[in-house]
Chains A and B, each alone.
Chain A
């Protein structure tokens, strides 16, 4: 048994992948569908943009198979902003990921928001130079994705609903399991790993360090500055906002407000001022009305 942590034994590029994830902490990553929206996001103070053809709420309404975006759109967005540009590939779609790497996107999101291409396996992400972010609902799923090479984890929430309840549930589940692991004696760790379906060495590492080996962000359902601040309060280091910005009545103001809220999440009087007079947020969906088939967060293995 090696006496170094799993993280310390990873290849050289792991440091640059993880390094970019570290630099993205304490901010807001916004979904954008055009170069004009990307400019608005950058102007508002987004630390990165996620380039995709349809925001999750439109994918939800319009249905059909959701795939990787047209490279033309991704390149237009890359040309229009100086901040990092991320893009999504379908779960298990190795070739979409290779195409995104060839386009030199800064991060690939192997995302449950798109229709999965593989119902059993995710991409082996260590094979890529470009870093990956993946979604999770609990610690087991997070550590499986990290084992495959994800350099950044986001809890999934329920994308496109404008309803933060699933994001809260997933973050609370993840953080509770991490806290539990730090109190678990060594001889129980293998069974713990078996029960949550996670790589043993990563379970060992988390039990020692009390945190994931990669940054831990939040996604799925954030609609207001208060929602974004709530996710930071619960442990998210950065917040992804998808439909919440460009489906709000005044996207520019909402974008500015959410950026300011994430930086001031521990300051209620500032949050009160930030939340004032923003206009209508995304309408939102009661997730209890969704069938399992309509829940994007159940995708991922």
Chain B
């Protein structure tokens, strides 16, 4: 299974290192369309969503990416990656893919000094409810509304932080900055 990590800007290295822990996975960094065409699934990492969005357009990746995700490409967005997938950003006209039916507020938890680590409870399946997982939140976006087709898999202090809609998984935190492989394992086994 070839899993791509969008590597235009941001936290692609920690995702690539996490994926490298799975023997069945071939990791490939995606910067150009030929690389996008060759992957079976894709991770959109954290970073600056304004920068990544602009670079997706400059690289000619915006439409191909939208088409592939709409066509069912399994995709996992963390932090900025989640912002790019979302349908709406509070008070912003920033370019987004609009494929995941959630509304988000950027930097809603505050500036960097308010970044934090927490333990969140994730429900991976009806048999695996409320499993504790470490989470790192960095200048994190907040999910302020979710559509009817969206499953909330984890909350932190009442706010959704891990959601899924069909082939799209998204987290407002960074599982790739922790030692836990569980969220990535879920993506590889249940979404891909």
Contacts and interface: CB of A to CB of B under 8 A. Distances in A.
Interface of A: 12-13, 15-16, 18-20, 22-27, 42, 45-48, 78, 82-84, 101, 104-107, 129-131, 259-260, 263-264
Contacts of B55: 45, 259-260, 263
A290 B39 CA distance: 51
Nearest to A237: B13
Contact of B48 (A13, A18, A22, A23): A23
A26 B7 contact: yes
A20 B138 contact: yes
A22 B117 contact: no
B80 interface: yes
Given A23-B10, A25-B10, A15 B47 contact: no
Nearest to B173: A19
B106 interface: yes
Contacts of A22: 10-11, 13-14, 46, 177
A241 to B, nearest CB: 14
- Top 9 nearest A-B pairs by Cβ distance? A106-B112, A16-B115, A26-B9, A45-B54, A104-B111, A47-B48, A19-B138, A22-B11, A45-B51
Interface string B77-96: 00110000000000010000
A16 B54 contact: no
A32 to B, nearest CB: 15
Q: Which of A12, A16, A130 has the most CB of B within 10 A?
A: A16
A5 to B, nearest CB: 13
A94 B87 CA distance: 44
A23 B107 contact: no
Question: In which size bucket is the chain B interface?
Answer: 35 or more
A4 B180 CA distance: 17
Contacts of A16: 112, 115-117, 136-138
Contacts of A42: 50
A192 B98 CA distance: 53
Contacts of A13: 117
Contacts of A105: 111-112
Interface string B114-139: 01110000000000000000001111
9 contacts: A20-B115, A23-B79, A25-B12, A26-B12, A27-B10, A42-B50, A47-B9, A104-B111, A130-B112
A19 B115 contact: yes
A263 B8 CA distance: 6
B113 A129 contact: yes
B50 A25 contact: no
Given A16-B117, A23-B48, A45-B51, A84 B139 contact: yes
B9 A12 contact: no
A27 B51 contact: yes
Given A25-B11, A26-B8, A20 B50 contact: no
Given A20-B139, A263-B31, 12 more contacts: A12-B117, A15-B178, A16-B112, A22-B14, A25-B10, A25-B13, A42-B50, A45-B54, A82-B50, A104-B111, A107-B112, A263-B58
A104 B177 contact: no
Q: Which of B46, B92, B136 has the most CB of A within 10 A?
A: B136
Given A19-B136, A23-B138, A25-B9, A263 B50 contact: no
